[in-house]
Structure 1
Amino acid sequence: MSSDHEDGKDLRKPFLHTGSWYRMGSRQSSMMTSSQMIRDRSVSVLACVLIVALGPIQFGFTGGYSSPTQNAIMRDLKLTVSEFSLFGSLSNVGAMVGAIASGQIAEYIGRKGSLMIAAIPNIIGWLCISFAQDTPFLYMGRLLEGFGVGIVSYTVPVYIAEIAPQNMRGGLGSVNQLSVTIGIMLAYLLGLFVNWRMLAVLGTLPCLILIPGLFFIPESPRWLAKMGMTDDFESSLQVLRGFDTDITVEVNEIKRSVASSNRRTAIRFSDLKHRRYWFPLMIGIGLLVLQQSSGINGVLFYASNIFQSAGISSSDVATLGLGAIQVLATAVSTWLVDKTGRRILLTVSSAGMTLSLVVVATSFFVKGFVDESSSSYAAMGILSVVGVVGMVIAFSLGMGPIPWIIMSEILPVNIKGLAGSIATLANWFIAWLITMTAPLLLAWSSGGTFTLYLAMCAATVLFTSCLVPETKGKTLEEIQFSLR
């Protein structure tokens, strides 16, 4: 191994060789009985995914926290509506900062080290919120949470894509978004039973479990290969595929993929004229921007008002129900994505969102012309609920999980850190923009707002059906070769 690899190896050592799986080693595996050696390769990969999925659960819990706690926080800390709105939006600001740093952190100290770094500010942030007596501590805690979430949102899908077998990568990649929806639902559910300070303390649990869990899973073999750590790379891949599996073919494919990429050679802007760079970058950024431009955060922001207008008295319980529907729909997506393919699910999802938003927009336009005491007004309220539920289901089936999967699959290895940071930053910036403008747009015209969102969903249908490549069933190396 060259000296520049040795220079960086000591810094990364704690993240590479800790954990019982590495201590077993491939040499010891030869001494095992045949019954001990026969392992389904999916078991090791699934265990890794379940551990790193604690990061997206934290992501979702952060997003869902402000909904059940708004009235109590405003009352206890004497906040105005604008001050609480600032509190809610600061997680997006922190996430943008985390997104900028995420790619370089993940490239330098690895995927596991990046998640370790993300977990620490999340824990500190939740404790700041829990003990806050005034707005500075409250705001600082929210910013720290957002910073950690920004790193998690890039690192987890990349790690899952790099460890998963090609026939399982879509389903396992969807676990990222499934975990986000579980985190949102947990925040809604626990918020019904505990106060906002205790809910913030409970928010530390995913990361408190994640930190020790990271010491029991292997580092991404593709990152190790890129960094020139050949022995560690092969050991990691052997653990993930099972000690009785011949990994020779996959090892050679990965080595060939990274052979032309030097980790110390920076990508130049002039290189972006090549299709192998600009096309995947356009797809990755485009999908993550369109995901948020659909207005999903604006729709969820207004969900409780829609439920109230439809005559549903307990909007908190209805919002919890909406969160449960989102979890179930995302779970269905994890099963479908490796069977039907990414592109068709994205197209069906965005088309379903477009039709659902037509229903929502129409109901609000009609409500503006009928008397509030009429049966038509009540019917339009129910219709708007149907549209919102339909949009959430359609989003969860495709546009929720799949943009993150495709971003992690198609970006070339030598620009993945920089390009992934840009794509993640773009996603969080649009999320912040939608969240901040939704109240203003809805005050202007509810029907007009949802019309704007449906126009973006219609544009997404065209984008996915015409430009997005199908990556189902291909190795990451095959995907990279097809984009040249």
Structure 2
Amino acid sequence: MAAEESRSLLGRPAPDAYPRVQNKKLYLATFAAVLGPLSFGFVLGYSSPVIPELSKVNDPKLRLDSNQASWFGSVVTLGAAAGGILGGYLVDKAGRKPSLMLCSVPYVSGYIVIISAQNIWMLYFGRILTGLASGITSLVVPVYISEVAHPKVRGMLGSCVQLMVVTGILGAYIAGITLKWRWLAVLCCFPSCIMLLFMFFMPETPRFLLNQNKRSEAIASLQFLRGPYVDHEWECRQIEANVEEEGLSFSEFKNPSIYRPLLIGVALMFFQQVTGINAVMFYAETIFEDANFKDSRMASVVVGSIQVCFTAVAALIIDKTGRKVLLYISGFALGWGPIPWLVMSEIFPLKARGISSGACVLTNWVMAFLVTKEFHDLIGFLTSYGTFWLFSAFCCMNVIFTAFYVPETKGRTLEQIEAYFRRS
């Protein structure tokens, strides 16, 4: 029996470990968690319809010039970078579930500040708070989903993170057609409030509970997530085989099993942002206005709709095609949108998951800030053609990096992925 378990840990999962009939409560837990990325998407999409409106308001204390508009769009990424650091601490100390529930506070607080704004600095502060919540969300939700899902559906459920982000962006674009900027902020509050309510009834992840020596609670969590017809003890032993009770010291980052996945995760986040996607999403309406589109708002909605459709396609096929195949495809929504977040949640060992994920999220949002803040300066220096050719060159570099350094994680348990890095 022990030899059989050892083989299943290092190779493929035992054939009867995850039956075809899946428990619906796993999908309910995933839905509750991805309400966070939906909120995150509303934060990202908010600036696109709002910047043109705030550039024309009668109140001079709230009117944005071109420089202030770039700060309004990009300052959210500074808050998100700080949120990545805070999220890396919270996810290990407070747990995955409480960290998600805490995200609702800065989301709602930030929008309240924006709704009541009397000057530009209040707008900036509100954006920073919503950015802080987005940074925590972007770290915690992929970790939560990867730890509650099983290998057969982890890719699909993990891709739902990016799907809900682009859905939130599209929702902000559509709502921005009819709603004024204050009422749009009111609407943006709702997903995070619903997430707080739903997450209250969801379990903590079994891996976090076992890492805290709470075995009975971990079994209860597995019973909720897997249903009554699965061998919970088998999966619990699989996880326990890789749980290490001692804390993580900085000297351990010399260990290839820790620094190699960290470097891969950081590189994935760097390359995701230098594709220039957030510059397009943050300033979609302004870009279409500059391109002399007759209806720039509707053009933005079309872009958002395409993002949602192709991200949904990626979620449906990712567990069949694998991660690397989709990263070779040029489209952002099919590959470089959802997959870096998914891979980040899969490759880190349990004891380094918080700090390593925090480093990745920090990298992502710092690069997002640089790209979105300097986007207009790049266009002035390189012209529009040169700027987008530069983004294209980085896309080519993405493919080369993927081919040589990114491992395929399709169909493997998190414990098998950790064992892979220990052996290599």
| Same fold? TM cut 0.5 | yes
Provide the C-alpha distance between the structure 1 equivalents of 2:38 and 2:390, rounded to a whole number of angstroms. Answer: 30
Shift of 1:180: 0.1
Which residue pairs with 1:389 in the alignment?
none
**Is the partner of 1:471 in helix, strand or coil?**
coil
Runs of 4+ displaced beyond 6 Å: none
Greater displacement, 177-186 / 207-216:
207-216
Matched letter for residue 79 of structure 1? L
Provide the C-alpha distance between the structure 2 equivalents of 1:39 and 1:117, rounded to a whole number of angstroms. Answer: 34
Greater displacement, 45-54 / 129-138:
129-138
- Choose which of 135, 160, 164 in structure 2 pairs with 1:150: 135
Provide the C-alpha distance between the structure 2 equivalents of 1:47 and 1:279, rounded to a whole number of angstroms. Answer: 34
Which residue pairs with 1:381 in the alignment?
none
**Is the partner of 2:230 in helix, strand or coil?**
coil
Matched letter for residue 266 of structure 1? L
Shift of 1:272: 2.0
Which residue pairs with 2:327 in the alignment?
346
Alignment partner of 1:267 is 2:252: no
Alignment partner of 1:95 is 2:86: no
Matched letter for residue 315 of structure 2? T
Which residue pairs with 2:353 in the alignment?
416
Q: Tell me: CA distance 1:309–1:82, structure 2 relative to 1, closer, same or farther (3 Å).
A: closer
Shift of 1:273: 2.3
Which residue pairs with 1:468 in the alignment?
406
Q: Tell me: CA distance 1:138–1:310, structure 2 relative to 1, closer, same or farther (3 Å).
A: closer
Which residue pairs with 2:33 in the alignment?
52
Shift of 1:47: 0.5
Which residue pairs with 2:298 in the alignment?
317
Matched letter for residue 53 of structure 2? A
**Is the partner of 1:167 in helix, strand or coil?**
helix
Shift of 1:42: 3.8
Provide the C-alpha distance between the structure 2 equivalents of 1:346 and 1:141, rounded to a whole number of angstroms. Answer: 35
**Is the partner of 2:249 in helix, strand or coil?**
coil
- Choose which of 395, 414, 427 in structure 1 pairs with 2:364: 427
Greater displacement, 297-306 / 143-152:
297-306
Q: What pairs up with 1:171-320 in 2 under 5 angstroms?
A: 171-258=156-243, 260-262=244-246, 265-268=247-250, 270-301=251-282, 303-304=284-285, 307-308=288-289, 312-320=293-301
Q: What pairs up with 1:59-78 in 2 under 5 angstroms?
A: 59-74=40-55, 75=57, 76=59, 77-78=62-63
Provide the C-alpha distance between the structure 2 equivalents of 1:248 and 1:216, rounded to a whole number of angstroms. Answer: 23
8 A contact 1:39–1:244 mirrored in 2: no
Provide the C-alpha distance between the structure 2 equivalents of 1:148 and 1:309, rounded to a whole number of angstroms. Answer: 31
8 A contact 1:42–1:241 mirrored in 2: yes
Alignment partner of 1:451 is 2:389: yes
Q: Which has the higher contact order (CA 8 A, sep 6+)?
A: 2
Shift of 1:294: 1.2
- Choose which of 121, 124, 128 in structure 1 pairs with 2:106: 121
Alignment partner of 1:442 is 2:423: no
Q: Tell me: CA distance 1:441–1:266, structure 2 relative to 1, closer, same or farther (3 Å).
A: same
Matched letter for residue 199 of structure 1? L
The two structures, once aligned, show a CA RMSD in angstroms of 1.6
Alignment partner of 1:84 is 2:69: yes
8 A contact 1:54–1:179 mirrored in 2: yes
**Is the partner of 1:203 in helix, strand or coil?**
helix
Which residue pairs with 1:397 in the alignment?
334
8 A contact 1:39–1:242 mirrored in 2: no
Provide the C-alpha distance between the structure 2 equivalents of 1:185 and 1:193, rounded to a whole number of angstroms. Answer: 14
Shift of 1:436: 1.0
Provide the C-alpha distance between the structure 1 equivalents of 2:278 and 2:122, rounded to a whole number of angstroms. Answer: 26
8 A contact 1:56–1:176 mirrored in 2: yes
1:344-390 per-position Cα deviation (integer Å, ceiling 9, x unaligned): 11122xxx2xxxxxxxxxxxxxxxxxxxxxxxxxxxxxxxxxxxxxx
8 A contact 1:125–1:143 mirrored in 2: yes
TM-score, normalising length from structure 2? 0.91
Matched letter for residue 428 of structure 1? W
8 A contact 2:206–2:218 mirrored in 1: yes
Provide the C-alpha distance between the structure 1 equivalents of 2:287 and 2:131, rounded to a whole number of angstroms. Answer: 28
Structure 2 unaligned residues grouped into runs of 5+ = 1-18
Provide the C-alpha distance between the structure 2 equivalents of 1:341 and 1:408, rounded to a whole number of angstroms. Answer: 15
Shift of 1:309: 6.5
1:264-298 per-position Cα deviation (integer Å, ceiling 9, x unaligned): x2322x32222111111111111111100111123
8 A contact 2:40–2:137 mirrored in 1: yes
Greater displacement, 70-79 / 178-187:
70-79
Shift of 1:55: 0.4
Q: Tell me: CA distance 1:305–1:199, structure 2 relative to 1, closer, same or farther (3 Å).
A: closer
Provide the C-alpha distance between the structure 1 equivalents of 2:283 and 2:192, rounded to a whole number of angstroms. Answer: 30
TM-score, normalising length from structure 1? 0.80
Provide the C-alpha distance between the structure 1 equivalents of 2:64 and 2:297, rounded to a whole number of angstroms. Answer: 21
Provide the C-alpha distance between the structure 2 equivalents of 1:331 and 1:231, rounded to a whole number of angstroms. Answer: 36
Report the number of matched residues: 399
Provide the C-alpha distance between the structure 2 equivalents of 1:435 and 1:55, rounded to a whole number of angstroms. Answer: 22
1:9-67 per-position Cα deviation (integer Å, ceiling 9, x unaligned): xxxxxxxxxxxxxxxxxxxxxxxxxxxxx994341111011111110011010010011
Provide the C-alpha distance between the structure 1 equivalents of 2:142 and 2:392, rounded to a whole number of angstroms. Answer: 27
Matched letter for residue 48 of structure 1? A
1:245-275 per-position Cα deviation (integer Å, ceiling 9, x unaligned): 22222111101110x342xx2322x322221
Matched letter for residue 333 of structure 2? S
Shift of 1:477: 0.4
Shift of 1:305: 5.7
8 A contact 2:285–2:297 mirrored in 1: yes
Provide the C-alpha distance between the structure 1 equivalents of 2:20 and 2:340, rounded to a whole number of angstroms. Answer: 32
Matched letter for residue 135 of structure 2? G
8 A contact 1:285–1:426 mirrored in 2: yes
Matched letter for residue 413 of structure 2? T
Provide the C-alpha distance between the structure 2 equivalents of 1:412 and 1:46, rounded to a whole number of angstroms. Answer: 24
Greater displacement, 423-432 / 112-121:
112-121
Q: Tell me: CA distance 1:56–1:117, structure 2 relative to 1, closer, same or farther (3 Å).
A: same
Matched letter for residue 410 of structure 2? K
